[in-house]
């Protein structure tokens, strides 16, 4: 089975500081993989190297079997779509914003969307539940609605890999669950492969097939595996320097992380 994403021995420095070191993992078709780790461990830098925004010092990245360095930005956008943590909305309608996802498919001298482009954009606005916002201004909708619009735009690229950088940050618990339920359902319905950076360990455990736990000590991977394999008390306490208890979620049986007040014995 061809890997959707293969990262081998990736390394990156910034002003002599080691941000990423010996990063190696892969993502299989249809997987939901979450990258977790403490602040400053290199999660966003890793995403930027996958997006080809910054060049690593060592190692290689392959998308759908292709070396990332050989792909044009237009070709890469046909394989991979991204939803970043910070979105700067322009003054346009939601439908026009979502249709921007079709730009990688524009032919030479094409300036307007085809009927197929419009149909695809409408499909993903329906699937993400924002069709009723089509005529709204993108800079006037709520943060949760904006995140849904960004996901719809990314899906409009019809990518093999959807990459999301902390899509639930700054959202309340209702919108966090809404976003992750949506991604999980789309993964099943569209056979989508997902790589997501997540801050919340419990959300990562609940929705991911596999976790990549990074450590702040030189930007290395501490452990990869299923949520049960990665989210152990020993691993979390070592990486996050925080005392926790891990117990099965009574409903899903996935690991659930509880903070332990240092004043309690």
State the pLDDT confidence band at 85, using cuts at 50, 70 and 90.
Answer: confident
Question: What is the domain-level CATH number for residue 188?
Answer: 3.40.50.300
Single out the residue in 117, 139, 158 at which a domain terminates: 158
Helix axes 143-156, 173-190, angle to 10 degrees: 10
Q: Give the pLDDT mean for 92-111.
A: 86
Shared domain for 123 and 167, answered yes or no, is no
Which DSSP helix (H) or strand (E) runs through 36? strand 32-36
Residue 101's closest CA among 85, 77, 119? 77
Q: Give the pLDDT mean for 140-167.
A: 92
State the pLDDT confidence band at 18, using cuts at 50, 70 and 90.
Answer: confident
Higher pLDDT, 16 or 241: 241
pLDDT reported for residue 160: 92
Please list the residues that pair with 182 across neighbouring strands. Answer: none
Residues contacting 185, CB < 8 A, separation 6+: none
Residue 111 has pLDDT above 90, yes or no: no
Single out the residue in 158, 178, 211 at which a domain terminates: 158
Shared domain for 148 and 166, answered yes or no, is no
Q: Mean pLDDT of all residues in the chain?
A: 90
Shared domain for 179 and 227, answered yes or no, is yes
Domain extent for 9: 1-64+160-231
Single out the residue in 158, 181, 215 at which a domain terminates: 158
Tokens of 247: 């117990």
pTM of the model: 0.90
Shared domain for 154 and 179, answered yes or no, is no
State the pLDDT confidence band at 263, using cuts at 50, 70 and 90.
Answer: low
User: Domain count of the chain?
Assistant: 2
């Amino acid at each position: 089975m061809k890997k959707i994403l293969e990262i081998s021995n990736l390394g990156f420095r910034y002003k002599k500081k080691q941000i990423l070191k010996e990063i190696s993992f892969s993502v299989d078709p249809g997987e939901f993989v979450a990258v977790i780790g403490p602040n400053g461990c290199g999660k966003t830098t890793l995403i930027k190297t996958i997006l080809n925004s910054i060049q690593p010092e060592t190692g290689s990245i392959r998308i759908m079997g292709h070396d990332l360095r050989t792909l044009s930005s237009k070709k890469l956008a046909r394989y991979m779509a991204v939803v970043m943590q910070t979105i700067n909305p322009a003054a346009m309608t939601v439908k026009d914003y979502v249709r921007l996802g079709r730009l990688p498919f524009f032919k030479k001298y094409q300036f307007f969307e085809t009927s197929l482009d419009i149909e695809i954009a409408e499909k993903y606005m329906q699937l993400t539940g924002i069709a009723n916002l089509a005529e709204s201004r993108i800079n006037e909708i709520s943060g949760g609605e904006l995140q849904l619009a960004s996901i719809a735009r990314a899906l409009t690229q019809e990518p093999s890999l959807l990459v999301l950088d902390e899509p639930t940050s700054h959202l309340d618990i209702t919108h966090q669950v809404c976003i992750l339920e949506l991604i999980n359902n789309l993964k099943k319905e569209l056979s989508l492969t997902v790589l997501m950076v997540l801050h919340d360990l419990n959300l990562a455990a609940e929705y991911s097939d596999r976790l990549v736990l990074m450590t702040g000590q030189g930007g290395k991977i501490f452990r990869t595996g299923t949520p049960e394999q990665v989210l152990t008390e020993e691993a979390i306490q070592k990486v996050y320097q925080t005392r926790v208890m891990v117990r099965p979620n009574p409903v899903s049986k996935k690991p659930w992380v509880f903070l332990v007040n240092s004043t309690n014995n």
